[in-house]
């Protein structure tokens, strides 16, 4: 998905508009009675979900219509379900049906897929209102069967955008949020690819680009390791099920949420910086599941959030993933293969005499590979996102590589 970003070199727009969806996330502040109602609603959704899972385990695959008929039978046998919005309960059947199809597709692709599991207490934390039962007005979110909840409207939703869905979620630390999905008609622009950059992500330096700019890795988990260990000790010393145990668990969850917020803040700022400065960003396609088999660096890899960084760049600018093979080994000047271990941080070529940081050398190779894939000339050229996506598909079909 391409988003027209600020400070981006745009030529003229195409006449084709693409239906896209945009999500706004707002903080909710329900009072005590509303929190109780929300918890009751979560409990009802979890109960209906588990009833549907039990039916699937006994009778096998159930279509969406079968699950909706089963929901009607549940309402007749359990009249208290009428106290909750009907469309919200129907979204549970949609969720279960989609999960069934995903498991079947995984098995067809040769993967080992388990069975649907029951939702435990405090694991089912979302309520979905689709198409009806909600209204946002005057700083309040009106939800059917729940009431008016105070919402922090920190950025306005355009009036011409139609709200399609509202998802109310509870974080593990007890905070409530509303994710508002709206339909937008985005016009795909023609982007002049005058500025491109290759980025090599790592552990010591989170990002090292082909222009020589390096960004140190904040390693948020490592910085918050001491308070996290203390919180874990407090949890282990408390009697399970007591009020002190619940308080210790909540404080432990708050620390984890702080680590996640720091990581997202860093990745948002860095991705915004690259999206404003460059038209196209080339990244190497890493096999992260294979890399975390090395237990010495697995924690730092997961803490870095390379996949989140790629997703953020993907909706802020044009992102292209290139094969990661030999990007670190090959010399960026002459192409000579220079083998090195993880401990060797400097690239030294015996053929051309190039001495460069290994991450800088890799980022230059990533940029060259990206330009070769699309066969982009060095002079100015105008292309549309649709043309780029079609060209990448043809190239992947020719090389036998599938881009996720």
Confidence of residue 374 (pLDDT cuts 50, 70, 90): low
Q: Where are the alpha helices (DSSP H) in 278-331?
A: 288-291, 298-304, 306-316
Please give the pLDDT value at position 314: 87
Q: For the segment 153-205, what is each residue's pLDDT rounded down to a tens digit?
A: 888 887 778 889 999 999 988 899 999 999 877 666 555 567 889 999 988 88
The pLDDT, as a whole number, for residue 403 is: 36
pLDDT at 402 over 80: no
Q: Give yes or no for residue 8 having a pLDDT over 50.
A: no
Residue 357's pLDDT band, with cuts at 50, 70 and 90, is: confident
Supply φ then ψ for residue 126, to 5 degrees: -130, 145
Sequence-ordered list of residues with C-beta below 8 angstroms from that of 113, at least 6 positions apart, any chain: 103, 106, 107
pLDDT recorded at residue 1 = 37
Where in the chain are the domains? Answer: 21-189, 193-399
How far, CA to CA in Å, does 141 sit from each of 134, 147, 152, 370? 7, 8, 10, 46
Q: Under a CB-based contact definition with an 8 Å cutoff, are residues 276 and 8 in contact?
A: yes
Angle at the Cα of 212 from the Cα atoms of 268 and 210, rounded to 5 degrees: 80
| Beta strand ranges found along 257-334 (DSSP E) | 280-285, 318-323
What integer is the mean pLDDT of 29-40? 94
- The fraction of the chain above a pLDDT of 70, given in percent, is 86
Q: What sections of 22-154 are H helices per DSSP?
A: 32-59, 64-77, 86-108
pLDDT digits (tens, 9 = 90+) for 246-286: 999 999 999 999 999 999 999 999 999 999 988 889 998 88
380 vs 189 pLDDT, higher one: 189
Determine the pLDDT at residue 187.
Answer: 62
Q: What is the DSSP code string of 368-389? A: HHHHHHHT--SS--EE-HHHHH
102-139: per-residue pLDDT in tens? Answer: 999 999 988 888 888 999 887 899 999 998 899 998 88
Task: Report the DSSP pairing between strands 162-170 and 176-192.
Answer: antiparallel
Output the six-digit token pair for 128.
């979905």
Query: Angle 86-108/32-59 helices, nearest 10 degrees?
Result: 40
Least confident of 142-146, 171-175, 375-379: 375-379
- Give the C-alpha separation, 383 to 374, whole Å: 11
**What is the rounded distance in angstroms from the CA atom of residue 376 to the CA atom of residue 369?**
11
pLDDT, greater one: 101 or 287: 101
56-83 tens-digit pLDDT: 999 989 999 999 999 999 999 999 999 9
What pLDDT shows up at residue 268? Answer: 94
pLDDT of residue 384 exceeding 50, the answer is no
Specify the DSSP element, H or E, that contains 253.
Answer: helix 243-277
342-354 pLDDT per residue, tens:
788 888 888 888 8
Residue 10's pLDDT is 33
CA nearest 70: which of 54, 52, 94, 49? 52
> Model's pTM, two decimal places?
0.76
Higher pLDDT, 377 or 403: 377
* Cβ atoms of 369 and 322 closer than 8 Å: yes
**Which tens digits make up the pLDDT trace of 326-343?**
888 888 888 888 888 878
φ, ψ (nearest 5 deg) of residue 311 = -65, -40
- Predicted confidence (pLDDT) at residue 149 exceeds the cutoff of 90: yes
Are 168 and 38 a contacting pair, CB within 8 Å? yes
């Amino acid at each position: 998905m391409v988003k027209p970003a600020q400070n981006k070199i745009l030529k003229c727009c195409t006449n084709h508009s693409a239906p896209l969806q945009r999500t706004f996330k707002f903080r909710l502040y329900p009072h005590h009675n509303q929190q109780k109602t929300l918890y009751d609603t979560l409990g009802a959704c979890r109960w209906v979900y588990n009833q549907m899972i039990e039916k699937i385990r006994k009778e096998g695959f159930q279509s969406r219509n079968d699950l909706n008929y089963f929901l009607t039978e549940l309402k007749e046998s359990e009249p208290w379900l009428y106290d909750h919005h009907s469309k919200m309960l129907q979204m549970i059947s949609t969720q279960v049906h989609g999960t069934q199809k995903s498991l079947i597709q995984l098995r067809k692709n040769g993967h080992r897929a388990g069975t649907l599991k029951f939702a435990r207490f405090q694991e089912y934390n979302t309520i979905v209102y689709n198409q009806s039962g909600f209204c946002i007005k005057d700083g309040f979110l009106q939800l059917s069967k729940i009431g008016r909840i105070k919402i922090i409207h920190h950025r306005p939703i355009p009036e011409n955008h139609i709200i399609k869905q509202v998802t109310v979620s509870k974080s593990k630390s007890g905070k409530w949020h509303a994710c508002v999905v709206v339909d937008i008609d985005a016009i795909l622009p023609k982007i002049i690819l005058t500025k491109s950059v290759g980025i090599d992500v790592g552990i010591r330096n989170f990002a090292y680009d082909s222009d020589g700019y390096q960004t140190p890795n904040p390693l948020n988990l490592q910085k918050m390791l001491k308070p996290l260990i203390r919180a874990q000790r407090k949890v282990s010393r408390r009697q399970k099920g007591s009020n002190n145990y619940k308080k210790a668990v909540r404080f432990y969850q708050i620390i984890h949420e702080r680590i996640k917020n720091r990581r997202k803040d860093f990745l948002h700022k860095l991705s915004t910086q690259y999206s404003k400065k460059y038209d196209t960003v080339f990244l190497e396609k890493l096999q992260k599941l294979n890399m975390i088999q090395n237990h010495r660096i697995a924690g730092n890899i997961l803490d870095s959030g390379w996949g989140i960084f790629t997703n953020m760049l993907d909706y802020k600018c044009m992102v292209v993933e290139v094969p990661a093979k030999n990007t670190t080994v090959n010399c960026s000047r002459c192409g000579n293969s220079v083998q090195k271990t993880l401990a060797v941080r400097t690239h030294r070529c015996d053929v051309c005499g190039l001495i460069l940081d290994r991450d800088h050398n890799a980022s230059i190779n990533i940029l060259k590979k990206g330009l070769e894939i699309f066969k982009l000339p060095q002079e100015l050229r105008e292309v549309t996102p649709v043309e780029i996506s079609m060209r990448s598909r043809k190239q992947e079909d020719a090389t036998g590589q599938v881009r996720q």
